[in-house]
Chains A and B, each alone.
Chain A
Amino acid sequence: MKKIANDEAAVVIIGSGAGGGTLAYELTAAGIPCVVLEAGPFLKSEDYHNNEWEAFKQMAWLDARTTSGSWRVAKDFPGLPAWIVKAVGGSTTHWSGATPRFKDYEFKTKTTYGDVPGASLLDWPITLADLEPYYDRAEIAMGSTHRHGRPALPANNNYKVFANGAERVGYKLYATGPYATNAEPYDGRPASIQDGFNFQGDKNKSKWSTLVREIPRALETGLLDLRPDSHVVRITHGADGKADAVLYVDKEGNLHRQAARVVCVAGNSIESARLLLLSDSNRFPKGLANSSDQVGRNYMRHMTGSVYARFDKPVRMFRGETMAGIIADEAGNDPARGFVGGYYMETLSLGPSFLASFVEPGAWGPDFTEIMEAYANTAGMWIVGEDMPQATNRITLSDTARDQWGLAAANVHFDDHANDVAMRDYAYDHAQKLYDAVGAVASHRTPPYPSTHNLGTCRMSERPEDGVCDKWGRAHDVSNLFISDGSVMTTGGAANPTLTIVALAIRQADHLAAKLKAGEL
């Protein structure tokens, strides 16, 4: 592996997930050496556990965090606002794989929805047309089924219930994808063996992640200096206001400095915002790149919920690809439903260990055990839709809580917007109707899990005062500082965000490579 000297002003990427891992591959492939600083360990596919709690303890980001606000997660899981990964590959190692694209109007929701009270809607500074070529490249890289000649995954048991229900209630836009897991061998990786373990890391490597594709290929170029267990705690700047180094802590707690020519922040929305807030200085008293006071604001987590339905016959939802089932009929904007924006329905399965903890947090007694008792006969789906950005939903630094390094922990404040609540109620109702149509004995409305889709907090904006970065992800305030993850999303759309994060990162890499080669950075 390449060794880049700590005093050599390098292209430094913070994080190795969908954004950082993709950027590292695209830049090294273009001949540009990079340092990648990853807070977590270098877990490999063979290290993963086919066990929900063991995997969670191995992979999840469990550093101290706090919550506030009226969202239910703050009550059920006050110290765990998000379920994301701290390891090389980031949260691409535990994502399920659904890859819908954003729709055209989802880049211009302020224009489309008009004034929504309490929402800080803003049109993106880019359009779907800008992103389409990069969506193509991302889908090809990730091997999305149903796209670019990639075949569909077969129907598993959970999908059979889901799709039959869809058909019976009149939905048409159902399929087993698009889903970035191989139905047949592709890109040097094998076909899915339908082992049912996705959130726990895929031991079979059929699922795309930056761990199995971008990181190893970037290492093969000989231009990547990958440093796991390297938790960035501050970005510093010179007298000219440009970022000049990043400071990070190794697993023994020793501080290191890496000089930087360009810094790309891709720590997932909570940590990216926290890092900028931790990097305050006399020049940037509210945090780096935060003259707009927008860093940390407009945190979005998608409107989510789940419905688990039980039948009088076996389903065995745990057999097979977890989320290889998508219904898009409700994904458009139809305000006649009582809310703006749309949502997807997607198959979902949990094992008994996680279902017990998440199906109705806090519940016990016979009503609860009735749900668990029916485990083998249960089908499940997730609902995931656009939530409204709100300036007050934000990441701040805790006054009291500290992480293992003694640094202020992130507090995640979130209140559901009335539009989120209306959409969730409607989606629950329609999910239950779908299962009723195929003979459900009963079904349960499961509240949101800790956030897996963490978006916003450093949003792109045309005008510097409205956001944190421009249409390339470049910080409005700091010309060599880029944001390279889902925190740049101006609004969240309904689609699972990973495909869009990858597409944006490929686009940003092209831009960065051109600027670097032209000597403009």
Chain B
Amino acid sequence: MTTKRDAFALDPGKDEASRRLLAKVVRTAFPHKTFPDAVYQRSADAVLAAASGTPAQKLGFAAALHELAQSGFGGLNDEAAALAHLKSIENTPFFAFTRATALVALYDDPEVWALLGYEGPSFDKGGYINRGFNDLDWLPEVRIEEYEAGK
């Protein structure tokens, strides 16, 4: 394990340990207890795919990920400690890129939508006109017309 942790992955997208490490970054940055590992891994993979631009970009990202591995972040089982570690690298280009890219991928994932209670495309299902657009029942029904005396 120790040797694996110290290995420099030239193509972290094809390196299992790197993929899992980045997924842990995403879960720590956007912690949802009900989300399965798979959605975090998909988001991390989207970051890895986006980081594969020029050799300089690849190198910068791989080097930052290598440093993260060396720092022992992968072994931090305490959520607060993992969060604190990310806070310490919050202003690095690596984290800024990972945060921004992972955020878009994570919350644009239909599995995440379902976990959050969002129902996605609706036009093909006839909209919500007959599927609960007005089913909120914990407040009284309310006026929709303009206030008569205000006209």
B38 within 8 Å of A (CB atoms)? no
Which size class do A's interface residues fall under? 35 or more
Known interface pairs A352-B116, A356-B103; A313-B128 also in contact (CB < 8 Å): no
Which size class do B's interface residues fall under? 35 or more
A257 within 8 Å of B (CB atoms)? no
**Residues of chain B within 8 A of A328, CB atoms compared:** 150
B46 within 8 Å of A (CB atoms)? no
Secondary structure class of chain A's binding surface, majority of residues: loop
Q: Mark A152-169, 1 if CB is under 8 A from B, else 0.
A: 111111011101100100
Q: Mark B126-137, 1 if CB is under 8 A from A, else 0.
A: 111101111110
Residue pair A172, B149 in contact (C-beta under 8 Å)? yes
CB distance from B138 to the nearest CB of A (A): 5
Which of A175, A176, A316, A357 has a CB less than 8 Å from the CB of B132?
Answer: A316
Residue pair B136, A316 in contact (C-beta under 8 Å)? yes
Residue pair B134, A160 in contact (C-beta under 8 Å)? yes
B122 within 8 Å of A (CB atoms)? yes
Q: How far is the CA of A318 from the CA of B133 in the complex (A)?
A: 8
Residue pair B139, A320 in contact (C-beta under 8 Å)? no
A197 within 8 Å of B (CB atoms)? yes
Q: Which of B5-13, B52-60, B64-72, B107-115 contacts its partner?
A: B107-115
B104 within 8 Å of A (CB atoms)? yes
Secondary structure class of chain B's binding surface, majority of residues: loop
B106 within 8 Å of A (CB atoms)? yes
A355 within 8 Å of B (CB atoms)? yes
Q: How far is the CA of A319 from the CA of B117 in the complex (A)?
A: 11
Residue pair B129, A194 in contact (C-beta under 8 Å)? yes
**Residues of chain B within 8 A of A164, CB atoms compared:** 139-140, 142
Which of B83, B127, B142 has a CB less than 8 Å from the CB of A365?
Answer: B83
CB distance from B98 to the nearest CB of A (A): 10
**Residues of chain B within 8 A of A157, CB atoms compared:** 132-136
A173 within 8 Å of B (CB atoms)? yes
Residue pair B30, A369 in contact (C-beta under 8 Å)? yes
**Residues of chain B within 8 A of A366, CB atoms compared:** 31, 83
Closest residue of chain B to A311, judged by CB?
B138
A53 within 8 Å of B (CB atoms)? yes
Known interface pairs A175-B147, A365-B83; A154-B134 also in contact (CB < 8 Å): yes
B143 within 8 Å of A (CB atoms)? yes
Give the interface centre of B106, B108, B149 by most chain A CB atoms within 10 Å.
B108
Residue pair A373, B127 in contact (C-beta under 8 Å)? no
Residues of B near any A CB (own CB < 8 A): 29-32, 83, 86-87, 99, 103-104, 106-108, 112-113, 116-124, 126-129, 131-136, 138-147, 149-150
